[in-house]
């Protein structure tokens, strides 16, 4: 007991094996968190790129059609690190709807696209400890005139 109290009161600064193992463990956990954080930032950039591409598609086609859905499916297949990716377009739609269009946006009408995906923050072993909703937004104006 006296020897233990002398070791605890010692100012020599000796490092023992336990403190070294704990320090390395904490460093590895911190490294895993940083790597996952960069993965989520990369996913956000990919979603921003997808939102920009969707804005261009909707601007030129004048609304949502089969080509828009096909482009969205392709862009989602290229995105890594996100699941359950969905998009929503907020705009005033033209009625009656032109043939071949799911929703038509008249020339000069602004629209807003929101793309959402779920990413997980969980360490090296993908424990999925924290679910994060990553959101990308884009805005544009229709360039197609509907008669």
Q: What is the DSSP string of 40-58?
A: HHHHHHHHHHHHHHHHHHH
pLDDT digit string (tens) for the chain, length 147 residues: 788 787 767 766 666 777 788 899 999 888 888 888 898 999 999 999 999 999 999 999 999 999 999 999 999 999 988 999 999 999 999 888 888 899 999 999 999 999 999 998 876 666 777 889 999 999 999 999 998
pTM of the model: 0.80
Q: Contact at 8 Å (CB) between 110 and 121? A: no
């Amino acid at each position: 007991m006296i020897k233990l109290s002398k070791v605890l009161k010692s100012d020599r600064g000796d490092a023992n094996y336990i403190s070294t193992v704990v320090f390395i463990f904490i460093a590895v956990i911190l490294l895993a968190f940083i790597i996952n954080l960069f993965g989520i930032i990369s996913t956000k950039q990919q979603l921003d790129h997808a939102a920009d591409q969707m804005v261009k598609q909707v601007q030129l086609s004048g609304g949502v059609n089969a080509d828009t859905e096909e482009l969205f499916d392709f862009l989602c297949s290229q995105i890594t690190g996100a699941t359950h990716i969905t998009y929503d377009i907020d705009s005033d739609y033209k009625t009656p709807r032109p043939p071949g269009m799911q929703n038509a946006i008249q020339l000069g009408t602004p629209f807003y696209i929101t793309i959402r995906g779920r990413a997980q923050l969980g360490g090296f072993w993908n424990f999925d400890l924290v679910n994060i909703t990553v959101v990308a937004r884009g805005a544009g104006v229709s360039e197609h005139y509907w008669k």
